[in-house]
Structures are given as structure tokens and as C-alpha cells.
């Protein structure tokens, strides 16, 4: 316990970004194909390294420091902030399910709860954010066929968007990871942020052939002979994040580099809360543990722009495109967990469209229950 408190205090004094946690989790929720491609590309891991996961959840330290109650109050104010599995119903249609994923290959994340396993196995089709994740080679080719989304404008380098102190910070961080500045200096900062924010242990698993949860679900569905459908393309996802102004991207990249020592604990905290179904608790908990510092995607207007492009606009698009699958019924729809809660989250948007959307995973938390009753296919 003492070690956890000391670590949280050290980060507080270091002035770590209170928005670094946001972009880490938002990108995990928003851009699985990009994460997968970057992990396979091997950015940010020294050659031959086989690191182990050593993160610790920050929740016990927050409780010991008296910060947990405030974080819970913030989470409680978010509509639909609890739960990872929701049943979607409308008269005359077979129930479908909406499942919030975490785009990681951690074995704990890959293991579905009893209720979720039953919902998945009894559904007729799988719908994920993008089917492009099922073919990493094709996806990588698509990315590089749209260079304006991943590279800087012609003639520009990262140095053009940095002040002298930031440039020194960047060079030092890259040297530590064995990456020469010249090898990445024409790439957009968001692209680098995704590669550098992943804990080394997660990258090592993926490079060893492990699949993130979304891709693992697609593999399982294909093996069972079920169709796998997508709600977006990789290019649409890339366009959303690339629309952030370059200066704000650069501020975010520097912030990611500055919290490098905290990343494993940030991810462990997110996994801890995700597995408990406390989705809306993820951001306030991490913010409480690593507060202060510059905004990762810019203050005010820049932050709002990030939310609008990367989260809200995509929620609206996905809610619209899942309509045919909901009309057919018996669909298992899996998207990043942070797309579910909030006034403009997918749960609220589907209710606005006339669907009855209810928690389908409470039984998982009840001792002695399997959750099977929660996921029985129903006809209205």
C-alpha cells in the first residue's frame, strides 16, 4: 500500500497531464485497427525485449488518500456508466446485445463473463467497429495509401511544431527507446502517440501473435461460421483522430512521453475498473491519481474538438449503421466500452431511436449466479 501511495504522490508532484489518461483510454476505445497495426509495427520496444506486465491498480492508493469518493461521485453523474453488456429489444425483433470492449490482448480482458459468453454464442452474427482489423496486412496498406492521415505536410518535420525545450524532451525520450528522431520526424504526432502509449508488455504479447479482444471475437465468430460485420472503415477512424490540429497533437504526444513511467499503472487501473464494469469510473480515477499538468489535446476548444470528432461523431455514425443488424435481431455488437456511457453514448442514442436497452450483466456480479438468465434470447 505504501508503495502505491508513494507512486501516486510522485506523479502528482511531477505535474503529469490530467488528460493523458483520456487519450490513452479514448484511443483504446476508438481506434483498435490503428493500435493493432502499430503494435505489429513494433514502435517503441527495444529489439529482443520480453517485458513482463508490472502495473498496479491506482484504486487502493486513491482510497487510502481519500480521493476515491470524489472520483466515484463524478462517475455516478455519467448516465449509463455501469456495465459492459446491454440487451437491446424492440417489439417483434429478437433481442440483440451491445458489449463494451477494451482493445487489449490481456488474458483477463479476453475472458468473457458467463453472461457475455452466452450472449455471444447464441447470437447469429458479430458486429464490430471495423472488419479491417481481421486483415492487418491489408489495413496497413490502407493506412499508407492515405499518407495525409499519418504524415506531416510536405517539407514539415516534428521540429517545426516544437519549442526548443520540447524538442529536447522528445529527443531524450526517443533515445531512451532506441528510436532515432530522423526515423519518425515526418509522422503525425497522433500516430506516434498511439505507438508510444502502449505498455511494453502489451506490445510484446501482440507481437507474439496475441489478439486484442475485438479481433479475438472476430476470430471466434468466423470459426463458428458466423458473419462478421463492421460499422466503420479504418480510414474513417483514422480521419477522426487525424482531424485534431497538429499543435494539439504535438502537445498530446509530449504528454504521453512525460507519463511513460506511469503508463503500466494507468493501464492496470483501467483494466481493473473495466473488469468490474465501472466504465464511467475509469477517467475520474486515473485523473485523480495523476493530476495537474498540460491538457493533452489542448484546453477548452481543443478538448471539445477531440470529444466531438473522436467520440461523439463516431457514436452517431455507429448508432445509425447498426440499425439493419438490430432490425434483423440476434446481433452481438462489440465496440469500445467508452462509446457506451454518457448523454451521447450508444446506450442513450439507441434508446432515443425507440429501443429498450437494459443491463444484461448484473447476474455476473451476484454470487452463485451464472448470468444465463440475463441473456436468454427473447421475442416481443
Greater pLDDT, 247 or 5: 247
| Contact in structure between 100 and 335 (CB atoms under 8 Å) | yes
Q: Is residue 181 part of a domain?
A: no
Residue 343: count of CB within 10 angstroms of its CB: 10
Share of the chain above pLDDT 70, in %: 77
CA–CA gap between residue 123 and residue 197 (Å, rounded): 34
User: Does residue 165 form part of some domain?
Assistant: no
Tens-place pLDDT, residues 208-242: 888 889 999 999 999 999 999 999 988 888 888 88
In a domain, 176, yes or no: no
Determine how many CB atoms are found less than 10 A away from the CB of residue 324. Answer: 11
Query: What pLDDT sits at residue 12?
Result: 38
> What does the mean pLDDT of the chain come to?
79
Q: Give the span between the Cα atoms of 335 and 72, in whole angstroms.
A: 24
pLDDT band for position 42 (50/70/90)?
Answer: very low
Question: Which set of grid coordinates corresponds to residue 314?
Answer: 463516431
Sign, CA dihedral 149-153-155-159, equals negative
Residue 162 lies in a domain: no
Question: CA–CA separation, 103 vs 215, rounded Å?
Answer: 9
Residue 166 within a domain: no
**What's the pLDDT at 311?**
84
- Greatest mean pLDDT among 147-156, 211-220, 250-259: 211-220
- What confidence category does residue 51 fall into, taking pLDDT thresholds of 50, 70 and 90? low
Q: What is the pLDDT of residue 291?
A: 59
Place of cell 488474458: 107
Average pLDDT over residues 17-42: 42
Residue whose C-alpha cell is 508513494: 6
Q: Report the pLDDT value the prediction gives residue 303, as an integer from 0 to 100.
A: 52
Closest CA to 196 of 212, 211, 184: 184
User: How far is CA 176 from each of CA 172, 181, 303, 362, rounded to the nearest angstrom?
Assistant: 6, 11, 29, 45
pLDDT of residue 365: 58
- CB within 8 A of 122, min separation 6: which ones? 330, 375, 377
- Using alpha carbons only, how large is the chain's radius of gyration in Å? 20
Q: Look at residue 175 in the predicted model and tell me its pLDDT.
A: 85
The pTM of the full predicted model, rounded to 2 decimals, is 0.82
Higher pLDDT, 95 or 138: 95
Residue 174 in any domain: the answer is no
DSSP code, position 358: E
Residue with cell string 444484461: 360
Please indicate, yes or no, if residue 67 is contained in any of the structural domains.
Answer: yes
Residue 241, pLDDT score: 80
- Half-sphere CA count of 174, side-chain side, radius 13 A: 18
Burial 117-142 (b: 16+ CB within 10 A, else e): bbbbebbebbbbbbbbbbebeebbeb
Listed in order, strand segments (DSSP E) in the chain are 85-89, 96-101, 125-128, 228-230, 331-336, 356-359
Q: What would the pLDDT profile of 260-284 be if each residue is shown by its tens digit?
A: 778 888 889 989 999 999 999 988 8
What whole-number distance in Å separates Cα of residue 144 and Cα of residue 304?
28
Q: 18 is written with which cell numbers?
A: 490530467
Closest CA to 295 of 7, 10, 22: 22
| 119 is a domain residue | yes
Selection from 156, 141, 233, 146 nearest residue 187 by Cα? 156
DSSP state of 157: -
Asked if 119 and 332 count as a contact pair (C-beta separation under 8 A), the reply is: yes
Give the pLDDT confidence of 153-194 residue by residue, as tens digits: 999 999 998 888 888 888 888 888 788 888 889 999 888 887
Q: What is the domain extent for residue 330?
A: 2-151+187-375
Total number of domains constituting the chain:
1
DSSP class per residue in 201-256: HHHHHHHTTPPPHHHHHHHHHHHTT--EEESS-HHHHHHHHHTS-HHHHHHHHHHH
Amino acid at each position: 500500500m505504501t508503495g502505491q501511495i508513494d507512486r501516486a504522490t510522485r506523479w502528482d508532484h511531477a505535474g503529469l497531464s490530467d488528460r493523458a489518461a483520456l487519450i490513452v483510454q479514448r484511443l483504446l476505445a476508438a481506434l483498435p485497427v490503428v493500435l493493432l497495426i502499430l503494435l505489429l509495427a513494433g514502435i517503441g520496444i527495444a529489439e529482443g525485449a520480453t517485458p513482463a506486465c508490472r502495473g498496479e491498480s491506482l484504486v487502493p492508493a486513491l482510497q487510502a488518500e481519500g480521493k476515491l469518493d470524489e472520483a466515484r461521485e463524478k462517475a455516478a453523474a455519467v448516465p449509463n456508466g455501469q456495465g459492459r453488456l446491454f440487451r437491446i429489444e424492440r417489439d417483434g425483433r429478437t433481442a440483440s446485445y451491445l458489449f463494451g470492449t477494451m482493445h487489449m490482448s490481456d488474458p483477463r480482458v479476453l475472458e468473457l463473463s458467463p453472461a457475455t459468453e452466452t450472449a455471444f454464442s447464441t447470437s447469429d452474427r458479430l458486429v464490430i467497429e471495423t472488419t479491417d482489423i481481421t486483415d492487418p496486412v491489408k489495413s496497413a496498406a490502407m493506412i499508407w495509401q492515405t499518407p495525409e492521415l499519418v504524415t506531416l505536410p510536405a517539407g514539415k518535420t516534428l521540429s517545426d511544431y516544437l519549442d526548443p525545450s520540447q524538442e529536447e524532451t522528445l529527443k531524450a525520450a526517443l533515445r531512451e527507446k532506441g528510436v532515432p528522431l530522423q526515423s519518425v520526424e515526418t509522422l503525425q504526432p497522433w500516430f506516434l502517440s498511439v505507438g508510444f502509449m502502449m505498455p511494453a508488455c502489451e506490445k510484446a504479447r501482440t507481437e507474439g501473435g496475441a489478439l486484442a479482444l475485438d479481433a479475438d471475437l472476430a476470430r471466434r465468430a468466423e470459426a463458428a461460421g458466423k458473419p462478421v460485420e463492421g460499422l466503420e472503415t479504418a480510414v474513417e477512424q483514422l480521419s477522426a483522430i487525424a482531424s485534431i490540429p497538429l499543435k494539439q497533437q504535438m502537445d498530446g504526444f509530449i504528454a504521453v512521453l512525460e507519463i511513460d513511467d506511469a503508463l503500466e499503472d494507468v493501464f492496470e487501473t483501467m483494466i481493473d475498473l473495466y473488469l468490474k464494469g465501472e466504465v464511467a469510473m475509469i477517467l475520474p480515477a486515473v485523473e485523480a491519481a495523476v493530476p495537474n499538468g498540460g491538457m493533452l489535446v489542448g484546453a477548452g476548444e481543443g478538448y471539445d474538438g477531440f470529444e466531438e470528432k473522436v467520440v461523439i461523431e463516431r457514436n452517431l455514425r455507429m448508432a445509425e449503421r447498426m440499425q439493419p443488424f438490430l432490425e434483423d435481431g440476434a446481433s452481438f455488437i462489440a465496440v469500445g466500452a467508452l462509446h457506451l456511457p454518457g448523454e451521447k453514448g450508444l446506450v442513450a442514442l439507441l434508446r432515443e431511436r425507440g429501443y429498450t436497452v437494459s443491463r444484461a450483466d448484473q447476474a455476473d456480479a451476484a454470487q452463485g449466479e451464472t448470468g444465463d438468465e440475463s441473456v436468454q434470447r427473447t421475442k416481443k
